[in-house]
């Protein structure tokens, strides 16, 4: 499927469809069960034409399992969910159980992750705030075996409509997506920016929006770790914009007649194209 939004906004990367499925696409990239990996690597790959599939044994990391919709996988974090509370905040060196788990990991050669586990990521101020963060996540369990990332242009939506379409957008394009989302709607808050992992913004938060009467767009890739993980392949200036399927169709319909044919957007689009040439 070709997207009018992609052409109108001059997006450099193809959008990705997120599907729930009981079969994985032939040739799909998969994580080995139990092996760590970043879901956003797979999203980047799908935007380049390589589909990916995840299930409850192969979701890359604990936050990824949560984000894709495989329940509360933080309970499988080393030392349990309580150790994750310290990991995301002040570090597991600050309590007895965390120090014990750290020692076990060091003894078994846990690699670079041990340092982050011990010292913490500092993304929230204290463990109780992390506990509240998890409570506030729209954690769910998808009804299928797989969650699949498929390049949108390879999809026939008449037979397989996706749950979500994810755009990679530079700042001007992200602004345009926000404007386009609000273009045909009442109200000023038709886009949200949750504090969440990169995969959670394109997964469970977008799934939740899909169930709303008027689904909102979800800006993501505000996750610093996810940004670093894809910086080499996607660059430093991209965010994600997750559109539940009904919103995606709305955006496609509203391109015609909107600001995309007006001088302001044409000038911004040209500036983006010039900047891209200068970087290459």
76-102 pLDDT per residue, tens:
999 999 999 999 999 999 999 999 999
Q: Among residues of the chain, what percentage have pLDDT more than 70?
A: 99
Give the pLDDT score at 246: 98
Order of strands, sheet of 217-220, starting from the edge strand that comes earlier in the sequence: 52-54, 146-151, 16-21, 164-169, 239-244, 217-220, 191-192
Q: Which residues of 210-247 are buried (b: 16+ CB within 10 A; e: fewer)?
A: beeeebbbbbbbbbeebbebbeeebeeebbbbbbbbeb
Mapping DSSP to helix (H, G, I), strand (E, B) and coil, where does residue 70 land?
strand
- What is the dihedral sign for C-alpha 124, 67, 15, 179? negative
* Mean pLDDT estimate for the chain: 96
* SS3 category, 18: strand
CA angle 7/9/11 to nearest 5° reads 75
Confidence at residue 280, expressed as pLDDT on a 0 to 100 scale? 65
Residues 149 and 41 sit within 8 Å (Cβ to Cβ): no
The neighbour count for residue 93, using CB atoms within 10 Å, is 13
Please report, for the chain, the start and end positions of each structural domain, with discontinuous segments joined by +: 4-69+140-271, 73-136
**Considering just the CA atoms, what is the radius of gyration of the chain in Å?**
20
What pTM was estimated for this model as a whole? 0.96
Round to whole Å and give the CA distance between 71 and 153: 30
DSSP 216: P
């Amino acid at each position: 499927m070709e997207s009018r939004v992609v052409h109108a906004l001059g997006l450099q990367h193809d959008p990705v469809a997120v599907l729930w499925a009981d079969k994985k696409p032939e040739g799909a990239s998969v994580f080995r069960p139990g092996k760590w990996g970043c879901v956003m690597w797979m999203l980047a790959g799908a935007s380049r034409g390589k589909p990916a599939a995840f299930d409850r044994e192969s979701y890359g990391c604990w936050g990824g399992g949560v984000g894709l919709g495989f329940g509360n996988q933080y309970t499988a974090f080393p030392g349990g969910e309580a150790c994750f509370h310290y990991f995301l905040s002040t570090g597991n060196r600050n309590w007895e159980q965390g120090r014990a788990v750290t020692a076990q990991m060091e003894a078994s050669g846990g690699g670079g992750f041990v340092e982050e586990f011990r010292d913490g990521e500092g993304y929230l101020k204290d463990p109780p705030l992390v506990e509240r963060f998890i409570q506030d996540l729209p954690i769910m369990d998808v009804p299928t075996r797989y969650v699949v990332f498929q390049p949108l242009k390879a999809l026939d939506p008449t037979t397989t409509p996706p749950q979500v379409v994810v755009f990679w957008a530079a700042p001007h394009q992200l602004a345009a997506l926000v404007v386009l989302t609000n273009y045909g709607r009442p109200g000023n808050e038709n886009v949200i920016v949750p504090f969440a992992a990169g995969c959670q913004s394109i997964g469970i938060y977008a799934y939740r929006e899909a169930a709303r009467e008027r689904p909102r767009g979800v800006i993501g890739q505000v996750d610093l770790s996810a940004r670093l993980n894809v910086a080499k392949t996607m660059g430093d200036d991209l965010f994600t914009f997750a559109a539940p399927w009904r919103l995606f169709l709305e955006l496609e319909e509203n391109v015609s007649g909107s600001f995309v044919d007006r001088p302001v957007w044409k000038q911004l689009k040209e500036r983006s194209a010039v900047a891209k040439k200068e970087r290459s």
